Amino acid sequence: MESLLERLKKETPAQLRDRSREALDFFRGHVRNLKTSPQSFYKQTHLNKATRYLEGRMYTYFYNPKTKDKLPYYDRFPVVLILEASQNGFSGLNLHYIPPRYRVKLLNELYDFIIIDEDESEADMKTRIRVTYEILQSTAKMKFFRPCYKRYLTSQIEGRALEITPDYWDIMAMLPVARFEKESIRKVYSESIRSFN
């Protein structure tokens, strides 16, 4: 059976399949009213379960923060572009923290940092986004990253993370699968917008 990601990719107009602002806007509008839960998405997807966490790649997973009692809110099913990996976790951009229209703007800027890693043997692992926290902080056009920047411990990931291959980055970034605890998504968006205005 065809997965949701495969169906959405197939429905994309051919001329928009290249990474572009138009493609991101298309995905934003196309998936806005989709109804899918993280659990059903996880069960039905054909994405591979991650065996490692690579900088510059995107992942989604169920997460149970160690400090959840202290957090005002948190996302149980993040979609994260990893910026820096460490021994016990990683820091990255959880795109769910900003409204889709700002995700479009941020991704559009991030795609300028795509590199092809010729040393990588697996074809679907070659494409990465090479950007650092310092670059994000120093570039005014990328101010939307601020509320997205989070630190995650691998010990708090429940089950196996899914690695989102580059051909699905656009779709996953726009898919409405965020699951915020303690606050509504509206409140999260409102605070995020305040943080970069």
Tokens coding 190: 């409102």
Residue 46 lies in a domain: yes
> Quick one: which of 16, 45, 49, 23 has its CA closest to 173?
23
75-102: pLDDT as tens digits:
999 999 999 999 999 999 999 999 999 9
Residue 13 lies in a domain: no
136-165: pLDDT as tens digits:
999 888 999 999 999 999 999 999 999 999
Taking the CA atoms of 84, 189, 103 and 30 in sequence, report the sign of the dihedral they define: positive
Taking the CA atoms of 23, 129, 78 and 8 in sequence, report the sign of the dihedral they define: positive
Residue 106 lies in a domain: yes
- Counting Cβ atoms within 10 Å, is residue 89 exposed (0-12), middle (13-18) or buried (19+)? middle
pTM for the model stands at 0.88
Residue 1 lies in a domain: no
Residue 158 has what pLDDT? 97
Residue 83 lies in a domain: yes
Residue 137 lies in a domain: yes
Which one is predicted more confidently, 13 or 37?
37
Distance CA 82, CA 152 (A): 10
Residue 133 lies in a domain: yes
CB 181 within 8 A of CB 79: no
CA 111-25-123 angle, 5° bins: 40
Residue 26 has what pLDDT? 77
CB 48 within 8 A of CB 58: no
Question: How many domains does the chain fold into?
Answer: 1
Distance CA 138, CA 142 (A): 8
Residue 92 lies in a domain: yes
Residue 25: give the domain boundaries. 19-196
Coil vs helix vs strand at 40: helix
96-143: pLDDT as tens digits:
999 999 999 999 899 989 998 776 666 566 789 999 999 999 988 899
Tokens coding 124: 């679907």
